[in-house]
Amino acid sequence: MKYSVGTPPSEVFGIVDTGSDLIWSQCKPCNGCYAQRPPLFDPKNSSAYQDLSCGTTPFTSLPSDSCNKAKVCTYSYLYGDDSFTKGFLATDTVTLDLAFGGYVQFPMVVIGCENKNAGIFSEDTSGIVGLGPGPLSLVSQLESAVSRKFSCCLVPFRGGNFACKINFGSSVVVSGSGAVTTPLDDNHDENYYVTLKGLSVGTTDFLPAI
């Protein structure tokens, strides 16, 4: 996903992850980072960048957090495949492109400015954009503008160079002939869940356990 961070905006590419919340990008200086093709984000170039102090609400929302000597919030975020990211928690302006031209800016978005990681990350990206239901995800932080709604049309994983547009807000509603919906299970706040009665591909039915 392409977006921008900072004032003036610096272009960033993040892996979209609906199973996590934190929005983070590798930042300068980054001695413990993977090699990425896009330029590293330099927080010193952003007039809107602000480190978060320990004890703030975003700080206490992290599953693993600590303070450094300057009382700045640091984090360590672990993923299901044992990949991890470490860095500083901060706020900055996030800019998203509009589908029909132009852009929209969101100030004071909580982001992770990462300086150490390990695991499997793509060199074509700078980090991860968490779209989970937790308080630090992009859709949760932009709730007043997008109502925590997003959609993405899945494209073939292999066999071509396909682009997928992510829609936020009122434009995500899928309608028309053949469109069906199912409600999310609201009893969970860490991941998205739906209740399934069965699965089928074409005319072939599969057991619910699959």
pLDDT, tens digit (0-9, with 9 covering 90-100), for 114-161: 988 888 888 999 999 999 998 999 999 999 999 888 988 777 777 667
3-state DSSP assignment of residue 172 = helix
Given pLDDT bands bounded at 50, 70 and 90, which one contains residue 167? confident
Residue 125: inside a domain, yes or no?
A: yes
Q: How far, in Å, are 99, 102, 110 from residue 164 at the CA level? A: 12, 18, 25
Instruction: Judge whether 158 lies within some domain.
Output: no
User: H or E element: which one contains 145?
Assistant: helix 143-146
On whether residue 189 sits in a domain, the answer given is no
Is residue 36 included in any domain, yes or no?
yes
Q: Does residue 136 lie within any of the structural domains? A: yes
Q: Domain residues for 87?
A: 2-152
pLDDT computed for residue 208 by the predictor? 61
What's the predicted TM-score (pTM) here? 0.86
Positive or negative, the CA dihedral 132, 135, 137, 143 is positive
Q: How many domains does the chain have?
A: 1
Helix (H), strand (E) counts: the chain: 3, 13
Residue 87 Cα distances to 22, 184, 205, angstroms:
11, 32, 46
Any domain includes 127? yes
Kindly give the pairing relationship between strand 50-51 and strand 65-67. unpaired
- 129 domain-assigned: yes
Domain CATH for 53: 2.40.70.10
- Helix (H) or strand (E) holding 51, with range, is strand 50-51
Tell me, yes or no, whether 37 lies in a domain.
Answer: yes
The DSSP bridge partners found for residue 13 are 2
The helix/strand/coil state of 150 is strand
CA torsion sign, 140 to 143 to 148 to 149? negative
